[in-house]
């Protein structure tokens, strides 16, 4: 299924039903009086977070979502039926924006969470509603009000505990394949990852966490180069970032780290300040991995956690996962 993480839709709540103008007229009841019923309220539109969805692709083909109209009132004091509410399922992690006002209406981050995005119109009153001691035969009714209409922007931000960062071919996809059941494409050319992948890392039967892999960043990504900057928003909910660096590359690993840090800062200062761990990958093809790792750490003046591993051979990956689990449990 195609991954879509942004879409604009139109929602229309139902109009309220009109009140009825009616009088009771029966042969043996000459003073029957008004008996026009009220209309029904219009249906409202709700968005509901569903864990069964992971993309907004369905909205590409059906952008208009409309709730039911309220039924008009009828004689014999019959009230019109309420319009049917429309409940629209969206992926967990969907942020809802009002396009006209640029206001954030809600963040559907919990499965089953529901958000009212368009209120149904209020019903109209029939003439029986206006009967009084001084107005015995009112001919007054009110019409139902129109329902709210809004243009909404839906923005999906995946929910994950750990986010993977790095240049293309740093080994992010290989890592997530090694530690979870996720199966992103892996190849020896850039941008094999075209959209975010989620993987569940299970430490034991009761302990697990979620990892998000996004397309690699390249210099100038904040200005639109490459793919990764479009998906950096998916790391905004993560608690810790794993910064993967190819320590076997002929290019300068220090420069590779600085490139990512610079792009993060340009995209979001809050994301740049997120806890970040350095993971030096592809240690299996480096002659003296420990010495090489020491050189890189000293050149960077790195103060945070550092791991040396090989995602493809899974050397050191278990230690990274256990350390992450301990950190996440302490952070809760």
Burial state string for 83-119 with b = 16 or more CB within 10 A and e = fewer than 16: bebbebebbbbbbbbeeeeeeebbbbeeeebebebbb
Cβ-based neighbour number of residue 248 at 10 Å: 18
Residue 104 DSSP code: E
Per-residue pLDDT tens for 256-301? 888 888 878 887 788 888 899 999 999 988 888 889 889 889 988 8
Question: Residue 230, by phi and psi: left (phi above 0), alpha (psi -120 to 50) or beta?
Answer: alpha
Per-residue pLDDT tens for 177-196? 888 876 644 444 343 444 56
80 in Cβ contact with 25 (< 8 Å):
no
209 in Cβ contact with 240 (< 8 Å):
no
Structure tokens at 102: 């640029």
CATH superfamily name and code, 6-156: GTP1/OBG domain (2.70.210.12)
The CATH number that domain 162-331 falls under is: 3.40.50.300
Q: Where are the domains of the chain?
A: 6-156, 162-331
So what's the pLDDT on residue 259? Answer: 82
Q: Which residue has the higher pLDDT, 289 or 48?
A: 48
């Amino acid at each position: 299924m195609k991954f879509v993480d942004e879409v604009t839709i139109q929602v229309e709540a139902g109009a309220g039903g009109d009140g009825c103008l009616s009088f009771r007229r029966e042969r043996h009841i000459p003073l029957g009086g008004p008996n026009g019923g009220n209309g029904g309220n219009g249906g409202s539109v709700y968005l509901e977070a569903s864990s069964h969805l992971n993309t907004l692709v369905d909205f590409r083909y059906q952008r208009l979502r409309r709730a039911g109209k309220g039924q008009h009132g009828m004689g014999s004091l019959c009230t019109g039926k309420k319009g049917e509410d429309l409940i629209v399922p969206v992926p967990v992690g969907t942020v809802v924006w009002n396009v006209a006002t640029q206001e954030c209406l809600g963040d559907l981050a919990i499965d089953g969470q529901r958000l009212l995005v368009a209120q149904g119109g209020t019903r109209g009153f029939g003439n029986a509603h206006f009967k009084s001691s001084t107005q015995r035969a009112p001919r007054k009714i009110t019409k139902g009000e129109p329902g709210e209409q809004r243009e909404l922007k839906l923005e999906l931000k995946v929910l994950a505990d750990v986010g993977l960062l790095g240049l293309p071919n740093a080994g992010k996809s290989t890592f997530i394949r090694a530690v979870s059941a996720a199966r992103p494409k892996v190849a020896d050319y850039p941008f094999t990852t075209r959209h975010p992948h989620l993987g569940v890392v299970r430490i034991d039967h009761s302990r697990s966490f979620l990892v998000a892999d996004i397309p690699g960043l390249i210099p100038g990504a904040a200005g639109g180069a490459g793919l990764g900057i479009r998906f950096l928003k998916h790391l905004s909910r993560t608690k810790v970032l794993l910064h993967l660096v190819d320590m076997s590359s002929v290019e300068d690993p220090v420069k590779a780290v600085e490139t990512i840090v610079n792009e993060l800062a340009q995209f979001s200062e809050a994301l740049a300040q997120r806890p970040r761990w350095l993971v030096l990958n592809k240690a299996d093809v480096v002659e003296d991995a420990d010495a090489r790792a020491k050189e890189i750490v000293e050149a960077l003046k790195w103060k945070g956690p550092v791991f040396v591993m090989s995602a493809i051979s899974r050397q050191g990956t278990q230690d990274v996962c256990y350390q992450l689990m301990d950190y996440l449990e302490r952070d809760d």
